[in-house]
């Protein structure tokens, strides 16, 4: 019996440790209030955040750092948190610092936030830090990961420092500066999942330097289309004194930089000593390049490397006719090499392209090499350009090629002191009408980031396939046949499927080359084989030939001509790989767990998805909810044929009066096990629009406190036993020691 209190004490000690590691907002708020105006160091652990909290003025919030620099403090958003739009995790006041924190947005477990076009990211939920109408904030040495919104969003503020941070799998912009003055954004390593890594909208006196931005095409098998790696956009306020230098931007989804002026109120942009490598890899966009620019006046672009850009190194392209287009730009001492045609439609390929008639582009002393469509295209005044391989030639750019890639000089921007603001925090943008989310979304929508259309099933291709027919002439018939692609093709987990060989898109040509053609007919048959499809075209051509007849009439030789019809039949064929044939799967088995407990009675319904399941419908008590397993994004094959890439989505739609836990449908009452299967209708929807109601149900009933068993797992029990034994032994040894003493 003496062991029981020790075991009880051990249990509470271990559980207390687990609770401290989980943390909560009250713990952090208490620490901030106790250290207001000073430094609050959050102990190591994972803190589960369930609501917004405020960082008081003049206060530093910092995490615990390990001996090797690892971040030991994590602020993690709890599952299924719907705080409302644009309510962040942290609202920071003036003269604050946020250091050494690991931010985890837990985005895959957020099923209750608003969605648009099937997406819950980029809609305004779960920004990490908001700084509005403030003066002075520093965010440094943090890691931003896996959230649905921005990392730092600063609005109508001044003196913002964002440096030495890392970020990945974000849901919108990592660092977004809006109508603010004085920003230093540098030495960050950012991997945008959606939208941009760094974005300015109506900002003055900004330094963006020595950042590394890399686009990651997929996370967990799901493709995300990020926007421009960096974005400098003028809406209605002035933009003055902006310098961008020493950055390395690689494989951006959209352009490496989108530079746009909406009304023309901007000046002094200096873009220099940056590397843009392989930018604009998104094949869904027709406007792409290392830099896309329109309407931004007085931009100086010099001593940069544009290597392997798609469409153009620098492309002047009017994305909206309602925005200003007149502007001047000077482009000098840059390297433009290996420019490729755009992935969408095969356009462009020049080092510099200007498709805006009012835009004035002056190109001076740039070096061009191996660009698909030459040095410049459109209205570009080019003086002193050099055509040479920049990897071996001496250039005026300051960059050299090494085994590690492009190496340039160590660059720091011009010095800039703190920007003074008014006593009430007002800056030069304060007199403007408040900027709205609609104003911000206008730019997002132009780039087609937030309005990607998701499909739920296969489609017929609306694009014109590239003609690859090899024509042959046989007798009087010239023709050929080609399998250009397939309608209703879908891609699932790397495999391609069609519903039938008849989905093949056949392009054929047949021409009667006879001098007196009569007709031509063709017949095409399709024969599937082992992973291939053969198209056989049989062509029958009718034509007439002149036949001379000689005879004598009344002793006079007479020649007559008769036109005789002849026929020729020829065969043409083409064999190409064929996708897998889609076989409609049966609806899976549905598990119904009835938790008949007085504390929290409920019924949980889980339906096993098949590989081809797009969504599963749950109907109960007259209302329907859908668990969307996959969504489709229209993509194009190299032959310009559209197909639907079905990627994993895993979100809920139309949940009313019920709940869900992960991918499980939850009814807030315990159903009768005898007729539970009759009260729930589960329907499977596949990629070809087929619907099947589930017929197999496994029903289990839990009438005890079964849910609590998870808390008493073997590891926890073992820890309690070990800790209790150790505690008991320690007490006994202490008693023996005291008696001996």
Domain ranges (residues) in the chain: 20-239, 247-410, 472-580, 585-700
Distances (CA, A) of 401 to 2, 305, 371, 407, 441: 75, 11, 18, 6, 40
Q: Name the residue with tokens 């006593």.
A: 423
CA 16 to chain CA mean position, Å: 40
pLDDT at 660: 64
Architecture of domain 20-239: 3 Solenoid (2.160)
Mean pLDDT across the chain: 83
pLDDT at 579: 93
Lowest average pLDDT, out of 8-17, 202-211, 322-331, 340-349, goes to 8-17
Q: Is the pLDDT of residue 650 over 70?
A: no
pLDDT at 11: 42
List the beta strands (DSSP E) in 273-340: 275-277, 291-294, 299-302, 305-307, 312-316, 328-332, 335-337
Instruction: Tell me the range of 35-44, 221-230, 275-284, 617-626 where mean pLDDT is highest.
Output: 35-44
pLDDT of 441-455, one tens digit each? 545 544 443 334 456
Distances (CA, A) of 475 to 542, 601, 722: 12, 82, 92
pLDDT of 537-577, one tens digit each? 999 999 998 888 888 888 888 888 888 899 999 999 999 99
Helix 714-740 to helix 3-22 angle, to the nearest 10 degrees?
Answer: 130
Lowest average pLDDT, out of 53-57, 84-88, 285-289, 431-435, goes to 431-435
pLDDT at 738: 38
Enter the tokens of residue 117: 């076009």
- CATH among 2.60.40, 2.40.160, 1.10.287, 1.20.140 for 585-700: 2.60.40
Q: Is the pLDDT of residue 709 over 80?
A: no
- The three-point CA angle 220-461-318 to 5° equals 80
Instruction: Tell me the range of 76-85, 279-288, 317-326 where mean pLDDT is highest.
Output: 76-85
Round to whole Å and give the CA distance between 157 and 134.
5
pTM: 0.62
Question: Binning pLDDT at 50, 70 and 90, where does residue 723 land?
Answer: low
pLDDT at 265: 53
Round to whole Å and give the CA distance between 302 and 398.
10
pLDDT at 399: 96
Residue 363, number of CB atoms within 10 A of its CB: 25
pLDDT of 581-611, one tens digit each? 888 777 778 999 988 866 678 888 988 888 7
Q: Is the pLDDT of residue 506 over 80?
A: yes
Tell me what percent of the residues of the chain surpass a pLDDT of 90: 46
Residue 201, number of CB atoms within 10 A of its CB: 24
Q: What is the mean pLDDT of residues 425-433?
A: 69
DSSP letters spanning 673-726: TTTHHHHEEEEEEETTS-EEE---EEEEEE-SSGGGGGGG-HHHHHHHHHHHHH
Residue 505, number of CB atoms within 10 A of its CB: 17
Q: Is the pLDDT of residue 5 over 60?
A: no
């Amino acid at each position: 019996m003496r062991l029981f209190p020790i075991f009880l004490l051990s249990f509470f000690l271990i559980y207390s440790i687990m609770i401290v590691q989980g943390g909560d907002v009250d713990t952090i708020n208490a620490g901030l209030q106790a250290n207001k105006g000073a430094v609050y160091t959050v102990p190591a652990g994972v803190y589960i955040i369930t609501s917004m909290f405020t960082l008081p003025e003049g206060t530093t919030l910092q995490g615990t750092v390990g001996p090797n620099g690892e971040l030991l403090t994590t602020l993690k958003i709890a599952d299924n948190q719907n705080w409302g739009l644009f309510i962040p995790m942290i609202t920071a006041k003036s003269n604050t610092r946020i250091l050494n924190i690991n931010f985890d947005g837990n985005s895959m477990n957020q099923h209750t936030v608003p969605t648009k076009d099937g997406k819950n990211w980029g809609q305004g939920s779960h920004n990490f830090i908001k700084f509005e109408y403030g003066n002075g904030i520093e965010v440094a040495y943090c890691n931003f990961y896996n959230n649905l919104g921005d990392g730092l969003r600063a609005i109508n503020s001044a003196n913002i420092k964002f440096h030495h941070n890392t970020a990945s799998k974000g849901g919108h912009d990592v660092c977004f500066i809006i109508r603010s003055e004085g920003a230093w954004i540098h030495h960050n390593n950012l991997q945008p999942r959606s939208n941009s890594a760094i974005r300015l909208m109506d900002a003055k006196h900004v330094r963006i330097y020595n950042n590394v931005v890399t686009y990651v095409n997929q996370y967990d098998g799901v493709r995300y289309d990020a926007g421009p790696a960096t974005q400098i956009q003028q809406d209605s306020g002035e933009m003055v004194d902006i310098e961008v230098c020493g950055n390395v931007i690689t494989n951006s989804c959209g352009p490496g930089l989108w530079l746009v002026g909406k009304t023309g109120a901007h000046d002094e942009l200096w873009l220099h000593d940056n590397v843009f490598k392989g930018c604009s890899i998104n094949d869904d966009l027709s406007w792409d390049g290392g830099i896309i620019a329109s309407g931004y006046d007085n931009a100086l672009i010099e001593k940069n490397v544009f290597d392997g850009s798609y469409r153009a190194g620098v492309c002047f392209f009017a994305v909206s006719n309602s925005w200003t287009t007149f502007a001047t730009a000077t482009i000098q001492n840059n390297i433009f090499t290996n420019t490729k045609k755009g992935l969408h439609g095969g356009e462009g390929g020049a080092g510099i392209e200007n498709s805006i008639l009012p835009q004035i582009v002056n190109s001076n002393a740039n070096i061009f090499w191996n660009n698909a469509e030459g040095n410049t295209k459109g209205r570009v005044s080019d003086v002193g350009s050099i055509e040479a391989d920049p990897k071996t030639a001496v250039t005026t750019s300051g960059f050299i090629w090494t085994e590690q890639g492009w190496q340039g000089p160590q660059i720091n921007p011009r010095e800039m002191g703190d920007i003074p603001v008014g006593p009430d925090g007002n800056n030069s943008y304060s007199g403007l009408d408040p900027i709205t989310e609609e104003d911000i979304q206008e730019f997002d929508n132009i780039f087609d980031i937030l309005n990607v259309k998701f499909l739920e099933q296969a489609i017929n291709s609306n694009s014109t396939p590239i003609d690859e027919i090899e024509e042959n002439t046989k007798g009087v018939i010239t023709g050929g046949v080609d399998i250009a692609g397939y309608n209703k093709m879908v891609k699932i987990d790397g495999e391609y499927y069609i519903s039938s060989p008849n989905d093949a898109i056949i392009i054929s040509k047949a021409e009667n080359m006879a001098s007196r053609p009569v007709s031509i007919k063709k017949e095409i048959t399709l024969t599937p084989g082992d992973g291939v499809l053969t198209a056989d075209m049989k062509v029958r051509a009718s034509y007439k030939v002149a036949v001379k007849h000689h005879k004598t009439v009344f002793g006079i030789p007479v020649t007559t001509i008769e036109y005789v019809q002849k026929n020729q039949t020829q065969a043409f064929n083409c064999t190409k790989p064929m996708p897998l044939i889609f076989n409609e799967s049966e609806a899976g088995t549905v598990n119904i767990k009835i938790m008949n407990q007085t504390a929290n009675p409920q019924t949980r319904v889980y339906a096993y998805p098949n590989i081809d399941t797009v969504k599963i419908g749950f109907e109960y008590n007259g209302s329907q909810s859908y668990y969307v397993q996959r969504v489709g994004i229209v993509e194009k094959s190299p032959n310009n044929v559209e197909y639907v890439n079905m990627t994993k989505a895993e979100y809920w739609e139309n949940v009313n009066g019920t709940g869900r836990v992960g991918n499980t449908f939850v009814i807030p009452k315990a159903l009768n096990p005898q007729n539970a299967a009759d009260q729930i209708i589960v329907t499977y929807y596949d990629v070809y629009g087929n619907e099947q109601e589930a017929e197999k149900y496994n029903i289990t009933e839990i009438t005890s406190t079964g849910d609590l068993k998870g808390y008493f797992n073997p590891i926890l029990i073992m820890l309690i036993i070990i800790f209790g034994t150790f505690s008991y032994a320690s007490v006994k040894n202490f008693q023996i020691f005291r008696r001996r003493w």
